[in-house]
Amino acid sequence: MTTPTCWIGVAAAAHVRVGHQQGFVMFAHGKHSAVKQLRPGDAFAYYSPTETLGGKDAVRRFTAIGVIAEGEPEPSPVMGAGVEAWSRRAHYFDAQEADIYFLLPQLEFVTDRSHWGMYFRKSLFKTSAADFSRIADAMGAGQNFHFGDQE
């Protein structure tokens, strides 16, 4: 069995809640090229810098976590008329939000703590199973992810 890829998506908390409620994920404002990178069984966690897109209402927490469901990317009507957006079905786990400041000292991909925000400028990026497990544990959802001996 193939080990799932672990992903971090970056989105406003309000957008993450819509996806959670409706059972889908969307990245990079619905770009097909982003969502097609994920495969069924891959693990994802959302980091939300703000409550609203472009807002000054800081959140700075991991806000949702889950796995990609079976199926292919599909067009999504969520973005509104005339805007082509793509999503994937997803299973979200019950989890609490996790403050980034608590996790920063533990995350291996953040090698420069004084400029940690630059690591979250991409809307979607891969992370190690070890870092993902740290995030999942901080969210109280670690029991849902088993990556074997992969570090």
User: Which H or E element spans position 135?
Assistant: helix 129-138
pLDDT digits (tens, 9 = 90+) for 79-120: 555 667 899 999 999 999 999 999 999 999 999 988 999 989
> Is 123 a domain residue?
yes
Would you state the pLDDT for residue 151? Answer: 46
Within-domain flag for 36 = yes
**Are the beta carbons of 92 and 37 closer than 8 angstroms?**
no
Q: In total, how many domains does the chain have?
A: 1
CB 67, CB 30: distance < 8 Å: no
* CATH code assigned at 111: 3.10.590.10
- Each residue of 52-78: pLDDT tens digit? 988 889 999 999 999 999 999 998 866
Q: Contact 19/26 with Cβ under 8 angstroms?
A: yes
Q: What is the pTM of this model?
A: 0.92
> Does residue 1 fall inside a structural domain?
no
Residue 113 has a pLDDT of 87
Q: What average pLDDT score do residues 143-147 get?
A: 87
Answer yes or no: is 151 within a domain. Answer: no
Domain that holds residue 54: 6-143
